[in-house]
Amino acid sequence: MKRLYHLFLIPAVLIISSCKKDEGWGKAYPIPQEVLDYFYFQPGSIWVFQNDKTNAIDTITVFKANKSMSNGFKGDKYEKANSEWLSTIDKYEYHYSMFTQGSAGCIKEGSKWPCYILTCTKLKTGDVFSESFSWFYPFKQGYGGDADHSSQTSTIVMDSFIDSLQLGTKIHYKVMVVKITNSLVANRKDTKFYWAKGVGIIKKENITDGENWNLIYYNTIKDI
């Protein structure tokens, strides 16, 4: 697996011409819509999952979402987006977040490696887990590394990309499959997460226990 890295900016040579001097200064680096389409959903969005072994139901709802631009070096602006979800089965909140400043060098240089990193923090009152990587975009098979920074070893790898996948009567498109060993957000199980564009997570494959949580209903509310 390839390890994550960041590209650092090389200071530009100052040029006397005022026109030349301002080039590249004060740019905005928003999160592309095609990236937001995988995770950024508004309050009221809902997903219902069913366990294929126990028939247990888990309902996940979005209760908070926001985006903002932050000032950076030399007047550049970077976007941060958060979408916060609540599970009925375990009562935990899952805070999905992305901030373009952390991979600014990668974005500016047009790197061949994924530049957009989605993280997730799992928490509830009295119990807060550390932050874990969820996926990297654009999809690059085999790309990954450590999944979180805790004392427990956890790895993440971009496993496969599926043009279309049918679950029940629904067909989902542009599905990224991410394998995380000892996943923080999946109770330290080896898990494959299936993320579909415009829908979010559609399947959680618990490799450790040999069971799946399949999406049986959803209603996502997009950014306005």
Whole-number pLDDT of residue 102: 85
Average pLDDT across the chain, whole number = 88
CB atoms within 10 A of CB 146: 15
Q: 224: pLDDT confidence band, cut at 50, 70 and 90?
A: low
**% of residues, the chain, pLDDT over 70:** 88
Which of 16-30, 45-59, 120-134 has maximum average pLDDT?
Answer: 45-59
Residue 8 scores a pLDDT above 50: no
- Rounded distance between C-alpha atoms, residue 10 and residue 108, angstroms: 11
**Domain range summary for the chain, segments of one domain joined by +:** 27-219
pLDDT tens figures, 72-107:
877 899 999 999 999 999 999 999 999 999 888 898
CA of 169: how far to CAs of 165, 166, 174, 196, 215, in Å? Answer: 10, 7, 17, 15, 11
